[in-house]
Amino acid sequence: MPDTEHGRTYTLLWLKISLILNHKIIAESNTGPLAEYSWETPSPRQIRIEIPIDFYRLGRIEEKRNGDVEFRLDGTALIAEHQSTKNGVINGTQSPQEKFSRGSFQINFKIPQSHWVNRILPGLG
């Protein structure tokens, strides 16, 4: 995302996500290298992250579930900071990174028991 006031753009390099239930990590996923470059004109982006839920993990969720399922996603991102340029290019090449930063986030969400039992579990086999 561009920071036009300070002449900076940022490149998302990778994301690591942990699925948490009752303060315990149930599953983790890592995007691997992304190099998602941020251009001068911001635009929404979607990054698909798959979190493995096998029968072992499903059993752990079911053991801990009491009614609705309340999950938390903990995420960490590695971001490279660049000098802001026109379309991210200096003399035909991408602008070099000046420093790296790590960021983190948390997302809490709830899946109602009725949806979990009637829609999700039957689709898992």
Residue 2's pLDDT is what? 45
The two structure tokens encoding residue 6:
């300070």
The two structure tokens encoding residue 10:
């940022």
Stated pTM of the model: 0.70
The stretches in the chain having pLDDT less than 70 are 1-8, 35-45, 83-97, 125
> In the chain, at which residue ranges do the beta strands (DSSP E only) sit?
8-21, 24-30, 36-37, 69-83, 89-90, 93-94, 97-111
Residue 75's pLDDT is what? 94
DSSP state of 20: E
